[in-house]
Structure 1
């Protein structure tokens, strides 16, 4: 594809050729992408990035032989002008580590075109600089279909979110809940800076909505409104840190 600086230059990294081919095909089909480069290892990706300074974003797998995706992202953080990073993986359990590395997004395989376009919009906003007011501003509001109507949900009204396959059910302060076309990993990435905390692979909650934390026989839960939600071991330390500093 011919480079055009009006669009994004994206480096796709995956050590499994079929998965890499699928991702590059989707990227090639995106109107916001002008050039796609691929690499089959973290080491190859570093070589590409060392020879080019025009890469806007790196979309990479996490579990790769040799230099894995998280290690590569840490190295990119030391670049003078690091590209945006989004993870594309089959595993949800690395989300906390990814968000700690300031990832733009966290996509679960198999990725569809619409979900990838959302990631590319975030990358474009981040590339645009301060005028964009951050790559996650577009998720201040969510739209949900209710019969023939579209309901707009304000992020500030949401108390907790539960995963529902490739969608999420958001629960708001009025007691209502709505199904939205977002993944819980995507909402975690967008809402972590706005007072939300992941407590489980299936739950994201507003820290200020937590009324009580319980630990009975090694089973930790939080009380949010009338709901008691489980806290997994993986997210327990993150929850503790957030509650300590809120």
Structure 2
């Protein structure tokens, strides 16, 4: 039996790790990878894999949206979710025939997943996962899922740095690059600003400008600038100036109670 697999995860390190671990099984053939939800959906439609290992938190479309779309369209690819968060979702997955993997991946747990996949291929049944997905989509409308991260893994060109989100002063886009400014240093990251905003939803970050994401706890001053715009002075050693565009001024004042 050959099991054709697509891996979908916005983190290249997670994709590489899962690809390596799955490569230990002769019956597994990795036919494609995707780094966001939209690409995952397109790869699944194009390649028609037996299984997709689907990260829950991805840009463009999250994993739940991708899975719901596949089911709505009658696409029979089996779904294994991977997540570093969403403990309430994990409990739900445990009651379902489709499996989940908790990051960081565990080899023994993955072996159990492969066995469950084999059984599902022999005896397909999608009813339970359909019910679960609709339940979770409804729940996500009522309350946004928050990631319980304690450290933010920032991949640079040469290494991975683990930052405490509480020590991030702001993040900003400079050309095509996105940088994270902490009290002590500045880091170039491979995240987009949109992905960073999603990852830091649990923390008091606010988008003040299309190119800036600010930690509200580090605001020192809000100063009028010109034509309805403002500047923020931040509580870092450089007293950095961060712009607030007109479209975000009212929302920022509301958040700050002004």
Question: What TM-score results when the alignment is normalised by the length of structure 1?
Answer: 0.47
The structure with more radius of gyration: 2
